[in-house]
Amino acid sequence: MFKAAVRDGIIQSDPTDGVVLPRKRRNEAALMLPTSEQVGTLLEVAEDPFRPMLALAAFAGLGVGEICAVQLGDVELLGRRLQVRRQVQRENSGGVEIRAPKYSSERTIHLPDGLVQILARHVEARGLTRHGEWLFYGRDGNPPHQTTVTYYWRRARAKASVQELKMHDMRHHFASGSIAAGCDVVMVQRALGHATATTTLNIYADLWPTAEDRTRAAADRLLTGALGDPPDPLRTDGGQEVR
């Protein structure tokens, strides 16, 4: 903006020239990745209907606005799929606005069996039957907005003693687990609804194995194929088991 102002003759010089930006933290240090144990504890202490909301973030990678805008017709329990078609945006008046997902990130999420069971129990408990019904309700028949989710999140976080975590970290949990399972950057990008693979790499690049990691793993597989499982050096000494 300052450079454009200089070009247009509005100001004579760019006051940001020479400003040194702060050093960017490495992504692996900046990311807060919840452990599986922490996520499990949060699910145990979470109240209904927040438990399925939390599960959609941790095991399907949905953002809070997307979770709030899920309708029953978006969930195919038998097909184990969920369609992300819209998101909830909180209005200044306290109401909600329904709009398309940002970056045109409509997408299909393939649900794990455990998450399907959580959603099926929620649908049954709430007595939901019509495709156009909201999976989660706020006030006046509208879907909830982020403030409601934040309220439930803070209560669950306090009970689980994980004050350092944020609700958005549940998406990081999903992304890191997908990467650990061998998903490539395009698969993770599509699952999270990022506009480009560059966005995904800017956040999670440090979580993918390096060339050295792949080379070491390949060599380990070759060695195991030739010699079997190598002996544990901490349990053997000169071919004899250490006791």
By CB atoms closer than 10 A (0-12, 13-18, 19+), residue 64 is buried
pTM: 0.78
- 3-state secondary structure at position 194: coil
pLDDT in tens, the chain (243 residues): 898 999 999 999 999 888 877 665 555 446 889 999 999 999 999 999 899 999 999 999 999 999 999 999 999 999 999 999 999 988 777 678 999 988 778 999 999 999 999 999 999 999 999 999 999 998 888 899 888 999 999 999 999 999 999 999 999 999 999 999 999 999 999 999 999 999 999 999 999 988 788 788 888 888 888 888 766 655 555 545 444
- Cα dihedral 169→184→217→26 (10° resolution): -40
Q: Which helix (H) or strand (E) holds 90?
A: strand 87-90
Q: How far apart are CA 99 and CA 179, in angstroms?
A: 30
Tokens of 192: 């999270």
Superfamily, domain 33-205? Intergrase catalytic core (1.10.443.10)
